[in-house]
Structure 1
């Protein structure tokens, strides 16, 4: 909020609607699934995951 008398006070941004929240959640789930699939492919081929980390060793 501005203390300057010539500028109007800013209103807080309204909370996202249910549709927006669901769309954002769906996009995040798709991104996570793509990342997990890429890591699994890297693990199967013996390569490093796309983030440049070390391959994950099971058990």
Structure 2
């Protein structure tokens, strides 16, 4: 029984790390898209003038 408990803990930790990494990647993608669209929006009026 003791052998199964330690093996479960790293797997749980690994799952938590995977979930955190996925969430972080999602936030960074959203930030990158927002930054890119903001920069594109700022560049467009200056190009016309």
TM-score (norm 2): 0.61
Structure 2, unmatched stretches of 5+, are 1-7, 40-49
* Higher RCO (C-alpha 8 Å, min separation 6): 1
Query: What is the distance in 1 between the residues matched to 2:17 and 2:34?
Result: 26
Q: Which structure is higher in helix share?
A: 2
Query: What is the distance in 2 between the residues matched to 1:34 and 1:42?
Result: 12
Matched, 1:26 2:18: yes
Q: Give the corresponding residue for 2:35.
A: 43
Number of positions where the alignment pairs a residue of Structure 1 with one of Structure 2: 32
Displacement after TM superposition at 1:33 (Å): 0.1
Moved over 4 A (4+): none
Compute the RMSD of aligned alpha carbons.
1.8
